[in-house]
Chains A and B, each alone.
Chain A
Amino acid sequence: MFKLWSTVIKDIRILWRDKVGISLMFIMPIILVVVITSIQNSTFQLVNKNKLPLLICNKDTGKISSELIKDIGKIGMFKVSLVSGVKDEKSMSEAMHTKDAMLGVIIPSNFSSKVAAKSKNIAGKAMSSFGLQGDTVKHAGDVDPLTIYYNPVLQESLKLSVAGGIRSALQLVESGETLKSLYFSINEKQLPESLENEMLNNKTAINEIPVSKDGTRTTPNATQHNVPAWTIFAMFFVIMSLGGSVVREKVSGSFIRLKTLPTNYAVGILSKQITYMGVTMIQAAVIFSMGIWLFPHMGLSALNLPSDWLALFIVTLVCGWCAVSYAICVGVFADTQEQANGFGAVSIVILASVGGLMVPSFAMMGFFKSAASLSPMHWCLQAYYILFLEGGKLKDVINNIVPLFIITIVLQLIIFLGLKRKNLI
């Protein structure tokens, strides 16, 4: 025990004096968490609070196009600006660039008359089907399409929301016009505004409730999503210090002496695991603390810790152990520090991508969806999401802890075989 204790103290001393290593393990992930959460927060707000800048060039002079513009504004997603003089795609592109707009819509010149004619026609057809006489418009024709221009940086999902929003505004205008025509055909008078509002705007409400295991209804935010995810990444980032440390020890003169001492090098490996598991726990504590106390001062939502602290501790511990095992595994097989650092850095980015830290696993296709289960980060992330977003308890994350534990044991086995093969234990 004294040997292990002395080795842990030695490892802590070396680590404490490795300022670059400490920066890589603490400062870099902290910056990453803050930056990613802030950026993601902006995206959340883009949908919820901020509005997408939308340019509308209305070539039509009628009333219906003005109503359409009013309805688009009511969607709440857009900050509408009107422009004139846009003739084609090129001039719209220039206008969007000048006004820093993500979207542009051109309403064609005969929009109101064509919508009115179409509505009258539909109302006439409806009257005929009721066995009544109604007005129809000969050669009503189709309404010219609205053209939506969008900045290519706009994500596909956002683009679909935009198209859906505008389509719904358009439908509202068209339905309103049809209703007015129908009413006029029946009653020979204008549809009262109050009735029009009641008929068109009295929609069934949609409630949005986040589903949680503990019954709480806290709406998830960028902090709640990103802090746990990037804490996992930070834990795996120990590879930048630990992988190199294993290689450094292996290639340094000290290792020759270690091999001649009456102590198994397994003690050295165990000590590194204990030391760096401590580091991963401190990393998690620091990042969570930042989320709780610092983020609100930065205009971000505060992190809400799960109610089951034991589950949080166990998940973090197993995740840290897995990260440390992976780093040691890379260190055992790498011949140089450059190999360990290069492979380590690239591989954790790949594991993070496959594991769903960058793109949610549920959105992945075929092979990558299956591959996600091979990434330890996937299981850590799922466990954290159950705790942080769904209010889960220890029993809810067991199914995630077990695969994570199995991956860790496999890594330990690989470490053992690697050390044996290299005659190091």
Chain B
Amino acid sequence: MALNNPLAIDIENLGFRYPGNSDLSFSKLNLKIAKGERFGLFGPNGAGKTTLISLMTGLLSVDEGHIKLLGKEVGKKNNQVNKLFGFIPQDFSFYQELSTVENLEFFGAWYGLNRQTIRKRTDDLLHILGLEEVKDKQVQKFSGGMKRRVNLAIGVIHNPKILFLDEPTVGVDVQTRYAIINYLLELNKNGTTLVYTSHQLSEAEGLCEQVALIDDGKIIAHDDLDKLLKDYRQDSLEHLFLNLTGKDFRNDV
């Protein structure tokens, strides 16, 4: 697979094991994601998706090899690297007691934005994600879909160059999914690299250009989605997934 654009993410010979676990979660794993890509990372439960994203975002520390985001090494709490990306975790990652605006004000400040920028970005995001009417209400009173939009807004308030999305649309209605996916496509058009992981494979087909399938800590396929479907003679990402990872249950303990 040839990459024409400069790299957004460069993972080389990655080795990682959880403390107290003798088995390596990853061993000599390599992955390159070009700038501006819409990249999807898929795999069964326990395959290592969340661990890999945690390593890329610095939540976990690399044991061997290295991970670079836009040429900068991901390390323990590296503020220069942390400014480059946004992270939308699967769990609601904000203060439920605060309103949307209050959450955006706080997280904007922690992203290093000034007061004016926060105000402007808050107004834009409230408008784009349809949260203007409820901007001053406590988030804990919101529906699941509204909370997903707040979760997304916080992760993109600083206009990140790379956006990590872990199941960003789980449990939302069709309207919210449509709004979120459209917004992500819009962000990508403006240059943000998307790293997306989800079990919603039909949704992923509409969003991702490049995909990687991961199982048991190894990348078992990585290429352009259309090319992969063609190579493996599959008509959908779901069938490709089942073909490569099998139909057995996975018990992720």
Contact = CB atoms under 8 A, between A and B. Distances in A.
Contacts of A260: 57-59, 82, 85, 87
Nearest to A6: B109
A66 to B, nearest CB: 74
Given A254-B93, A254-B95, A263 B58 contact: no
A18 B97 contact: yes
B91 interface: yes
Interface residues of A, number: 27
Given A257-B154, A260-B82, A2 B115 contact: yes
Interface in A245-287: 252-264, 267
Given A253-B91, A256-B89, A264 B109 contact: no
Interface string A405-425: 000000000000000000101
B94 interface: yes
Interface stretch (A7-15, A22-30, A53-61): A7-15
Given A13-B102, A253-B89, A3 B110 contact: yes
A323 B213 CA distance: 52
Interface in A377-425: 423, 425
Contact of A262 (B83, B105, B154): B83
Interface string B48-92: 000000000111000000000000000011011011010101011
A325 B148 CA distance: 35
B116 to A, nearest CB: 11
A297 interface: no
B93 A256 contact: yes
Given A10-B98, A260-B57, A263-B79, A253 B93 contact: yes
B20 to A, nearest CB: 14
A138 interface: no
Given A253-B89, A257-B89, A257-B154, A263 B110 contact: yes
A77 B97 CA distance: 58
A265 to B, nearest CB: 9
B112 interface: yes
Interface string A155-198: 00000000000000000000000000000000000000000000
Give the most central of B79, B87, B97, B105: most A CB within 10 Å: B97
Interface of A: 2-3, 5-7, 9-10, 13-14, 17-18, 252-264, 267, 423, 425
21 contacts: A3-B110, A5-B109, A6-B108, A9-B105, A10-B102, A13-B98, A14-B97, A14-B98, A253-B92, A253-B94, A254-B95, A256-B91, A258-B110, A259-B58, A260-B85, A261-B110, A262-B111, A263-B111, A263-B112, A264-B77, A423-B76
Top 7 A-B pairs, shortest CB-CB distance? A253-B91, A6-B109, A257-B93, A262-B79, A262-B82, A253-B93, A263-B110
